[in-house]
């Protein structure tokens, strides 16, 4: 029965993608001369201008607080001819995290900085870049087009393949991490290196954003960055001005999400009931047992084997009926698949594109999904956390949080996400939970519902699926632009 649970985790950003899986060939230390041929090496305490970077060679960046971490970055102008673009790696010993960075189309010298990550665990953020909110959209295996709704319209934005082993990220000997807490230390170090080195960004507002399993990643990453700031300040080093966290259709609380699968399939809350009456009746009977068992085994007192067993029961009764019907887990109005992930893989495996990005020639085929990493996180029970505990602590410290959800998503649906935001214990709980949902508008038309109190916003986007920027790009950009300047939805 554990196999069902593994399949469920993969659904968070894997199933329904048409993919060709290539095997990665990891560069050994003696075979990576091309990748390690730097034009300049930045010394601790030095500052650099992005405009001074080379398009032919990487420049290595270091940080006095992180002697095991360094980064390398180069100009890699592609995707959006209207802005400067860069690519590079965060190096931690023999592990290497790949990133893209695009300057803002508006004013890179004043606009805030944002980092985007996709979920999985094991999904490449190239999906977010080329299929959702990046400066260009993939339209065939050989072509991208300008995306007028890119989130770099008013922000400087990173897309990062993380944890190590995802996308173009790699380890010399295939090693990886197995928990979000481990991965958080690398992300926090990377962010600190960036703000310490590039002087013009010091003090600039920083926002963590992502979707799906990012509901697990980002609360932990933001907490690590926040706590790290105290250590950096004590060492008289640059701190990170962490302003907010944005989570789209996130897997924040697996426990609150379970019951929502019944509502999505049987109550007509979004679309007409999708299951036979007999199946819905069985689900209703299973819900009390599911909630009682998972609460005892996963919430009140965590026991990994018992928690896995309880979830296997819940998923068999509440999730499997949907999967067996062949519905798209990311959009209840669709069947089957997306073409773009396969196009992205084919595009990023072209030698000319890889040369522009600075990918080591000894690196094997790019794949949008890292199944080995997914299995490592699964074995460690990484997805069995209730991450609103981190979100509550961030809110108490003045870090704003936006939880948004497309109403057509099934796997991390808006019902489950609203449920945990209403039940989360924090100083703003009473005010937030007492407010009704109200409409928010774009161009005079209501495009979703929202609720807001003391730095927390919950928002739905009508007609959006799991990937809101893909399905509703204008609404997604309007939402983000308002969020960045502190405007209400």
Sign of CA dihedral 399, 101, 366, 186: negative
Q: How far apart are CA 143 and CA 450, in angstroms?
A: 37
Of residues 112, 382, 409, 471, which has the active-site annotation?
409
268: left (phi over 0), alpha (psi -120 to 50) or beta: left
Contact call for residues 287 and 448 (beta carbons, < 8 A): no
Task: Note the residue count of the chain.
Answer: 489
pLDDT of 112 above 80: yes
Give me the mean pLDDT over the 207-227 stretch. Answer: 98
Q: For residue 272, with 0-12 CB atoms within 10 Å meaning exposed, 13-18 middle and 19 or more buried, which class applies? A: exposed
Q: Does the annotation mark 466 as catalytic? A: yes
* Mean pLDDT over each residue of the chain, to the nearest integer: 90
Q: Which two tokens stand for residue 203?
A: 């003090």
How many CB atoms within 10 Å of residue 347?
20
Tell me the average pLDDT across 97-105. Answer: 96
The model's pLDDT over 364-422, given as tens digits with 9 standing for 90+, comes to: 999 999 999 999 999 999 999 999 999 999 999 999 999 999 999 999 999 999 999 99
| Omega before residue 466 within 30° of 0, cis | no
**For residue 48, what pLDDT band results from cuts at 50, 70 and 90?**
confident
Q: How far is CA 417 from CA 165, 179, 221, 273, in A?
A: 29, 23, 19, 20
> What pLDDT does residue 12 have?
45
| Domain assignments of the chain as residue spans, ordered by start | 2-256+381-484, 258-335
Quick one: residue 122, left, alpha or beta (phi over 0 = left, psi -120 to 50 = alpha)?
left
Confidence of residue 11 (pLDDT cuts 50, 70, 90): very low
Please tell me the distance from the alpha carbon of residue 248 to that of residue 26, in angstroms, as a whole number.
32
pTM reported for the whole predicted model: 0.92
Q: Is the pLDDT of residue 252 over 70?
A: yes
Q: For residue 40, what pLDDT is reported? A: 53
DSSP per-residue codes, 3-14 = HHHHHHHHHTTT
233/445 Cα distance (integer angstroms) = 46
114-169, pLDDT tens digit by residue?
A: 999 999 999 999 999 999 999 999 999 999 999 999 999 999 999 999 999 999 99
What are the structure tokens assigned to 418, written together? 């609203």
Average pLDDT over residues 20-48: 42
3.90.550.10, 3.40.50.800, 2.60.40.1930, 3.40.50.1820: which CATH number matches 2-256+381-484?
A: 3.40.50.1820
Closest by CA to 85, choosing from 157, 169, 187, 160, is: 157
* Model pLDDT, residue 417: 98
Residue 278 has pLDDT above 50, yes or no: yes
Choosing from 13, 207, 466, 470, the catalytic residue is 466
CATH number of 258-335: 1.10.287.410
Contacts of 232 (CB under 8 A, 6+ apart): 65, 192, 238, 239, 240
SS3 389: helix
Within 275-379, residue ranges assigned H as helices are 277-294, 304-318, 320-324, 340-348, 351-357, 371-379
- Active-site residue among 124, 125, 153, 212? 212
The predicted pLDDT at position 445 comes to: 98
109 is catalytic: no
| pLDDT tops 70 at residue 83 | yes
Instruction: Report whether pLDDT(34) > 70.
Output: no
Residue-wise pLDDT tens digits, 167-182: 999 998 888 899 999 9
According to the model, what pLDDT value does residue 337 have? 85
CA distance 459 to 461: 7
Q: Is 104 a catalytic residue?
A: no
Q: In the prediction, which pLDDT does 41 show? A: 55
Q: Which of 54-68, 240-254, 294-308, 330-344 has the highest mean pLDDT?
A: 240-254
The pLDDT score that the predictor gives to residue 42 is 56
Angle at 336 between CA 311 and CA 310, to 5 degrees: 5
**Measured between alpha carbons, how far is 246 from 141 in angstroms, rounded to an integer?**
30
Instruction: Tell me: pLDDT of 15 over 90.
Output: no
Closest Cα to residue 416, out of 273, 250, 290? 250
Domains 2-256+381-484 and 258-335 belong to one CATH topology: no
């Amino acid at each position: 029965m554990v196999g069902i649970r593994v399949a469920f985790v993969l659904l968070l950003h894997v199933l329904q993608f048409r993919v060709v899986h290539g095997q990665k060939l990891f560069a050994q230390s003696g075979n990576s001369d091309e990748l390690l041929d730097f034009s300049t090496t930045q010394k601790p305490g030095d500052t650099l201008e992005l405009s001074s970077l080379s398009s032919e060679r990487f420049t290595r960046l270091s940080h006095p607080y992180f002697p095991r971490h360094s980064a390398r970055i180069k100009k890699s102008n592609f995707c959006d001819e209207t802005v400067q673009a860069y690519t590079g790696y965060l190096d931690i010993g023999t592990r290497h995290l790949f990133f893209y960075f695009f300057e803002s189309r508006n004013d890179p010298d004043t606009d805030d900085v944002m980092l985007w990550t996709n979920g999985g665990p094991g999904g490449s953020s190239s999906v977010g870049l080329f299929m959702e909110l990046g400066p260009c959209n993939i339209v065939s295996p050989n072509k991208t087009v300008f995306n007028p709704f890119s989130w770099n319209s008013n922000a400087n934005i990173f897309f990062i393949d993380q944890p190590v082993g995802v996308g173009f990220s790699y380890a010399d000997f295939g090693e990886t991490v197995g928990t979000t807490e481990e991965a958080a230390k690398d992300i926090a170090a990377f962010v600190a290196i960036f703000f310490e080195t590039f002087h013009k960004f010091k003090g600039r507002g920083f926002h963590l954003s992502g979707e799906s399993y990012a509901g697990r990643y980002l609360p932990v990453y933001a907490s690590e960055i926040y706590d790290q700031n105290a250590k950096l300040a004590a060492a008289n080093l640059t701190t990170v001005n962490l302003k907010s966290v944005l989570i789209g259709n996130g897997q924040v609380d697996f426990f609150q999400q379970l019951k929502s699968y019944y509502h999505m399939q049987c109550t007509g809350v979004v679309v007409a009931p999708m299951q036979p009456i007999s199946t819905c009746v069985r689900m209703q009977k299973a819900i009390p047992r599911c909630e009682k068992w998972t609460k005892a085994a996963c919430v009140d007192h965590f026991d990994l084997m018992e928690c896995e067993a309880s979830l296997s029961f819940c998923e068999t009764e509440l999730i499997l009926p949907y999967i067996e019907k062949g519905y798209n887990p990311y959009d209840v109005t669709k069947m089957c698949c997306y073409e773009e992930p396969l196009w992205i893989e084919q595009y990023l495996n072209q030698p000319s594109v890889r040369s522009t990005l600075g990918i080591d020639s000894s690196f094997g085929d790019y794949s949008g999904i890292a199944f080995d990493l997914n299995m490592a996180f699964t074995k460690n029970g990484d997805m069995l956390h209730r991450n609103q505990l981190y979100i509550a602590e961030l809110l108490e410290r003045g870090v704003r949080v936006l939880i948004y959800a497309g109403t057509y998503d099934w796997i991390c649906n808006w019902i489950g996400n609203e449920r945990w935001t209403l039940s989360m214990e924090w100083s703003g709980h009473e005010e937030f939970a007492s407010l009704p949902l109200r409409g928010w508008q774009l161009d005079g038309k209501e495009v979703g519902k929202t609720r807001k109190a003391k730095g927390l916003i919950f928002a739905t986007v009508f007609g959006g699926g799991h990937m809101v920027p893909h399905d509703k790009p204008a609404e997604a950009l309007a939402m983000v632009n308002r969020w960045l300047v502190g405007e209400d939805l």
